[in-house]
């Protein structure tokens, strides 16, 4: 018997409810000095990308958020 990886499906509502947490996680990872390539492999990046893909008029691309957060950190 083979069993594949199990992952709980997450709804758009759950993604929207946790949007601020994903942004905060992204901010912390950027502050740690993670590269863009490393960031793109994280769960928070994937969740932000899913939100953007499903609701592009409401949520920005993670690449754009990355640029904004980098600018914010440099100006702080």
Q: pLDDT tens digit string along 52-74?
A: 999 999 999 999 999 999 999 99
DSSP state of 42: S
Q: Is residue 24 part of a domain?
A: yes
Q: Is residue 9 part of a domain?
A: no
Q: Is residue 4 part of a domain?
A: no
Q: Is residue 5 part of a domain?
A: no
Looking at the 3D structure of the chain, how many domains does it have?
1
Q: Is residue 44 part of a domain?
A: yes
Judging by beta carbons within 10 Å of its beta carbon (0-12, 13-18, 19+), is residue 48 exposed, middle or buried? buried
pLDDT in tens, 17-47: 999 999 999 999 999 999 999 999 999 999 9
Q: Is residue 6 part of a domain?
A: no
Q: Crossing angle, helix 62-75 and helix 43-54, to 10 degrees?
A: 120
């Amino acid at each position: 018997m083979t069993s594949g990886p199990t992952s709980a499906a997450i709804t758009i509502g759950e993604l929207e409810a946790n949007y601020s947490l994903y942004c905060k996680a992204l901010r912390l990872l950027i502050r740690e000095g993670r590269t863009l390539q490393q960031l793109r492999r994280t769960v928070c990046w994937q969740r932000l990308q899913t939100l953007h893909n499903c609701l592009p008029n409401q949520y920005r691309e993670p690449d754009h958020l990355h640029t904004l957060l980098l600018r914010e950190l440099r100006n702080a």
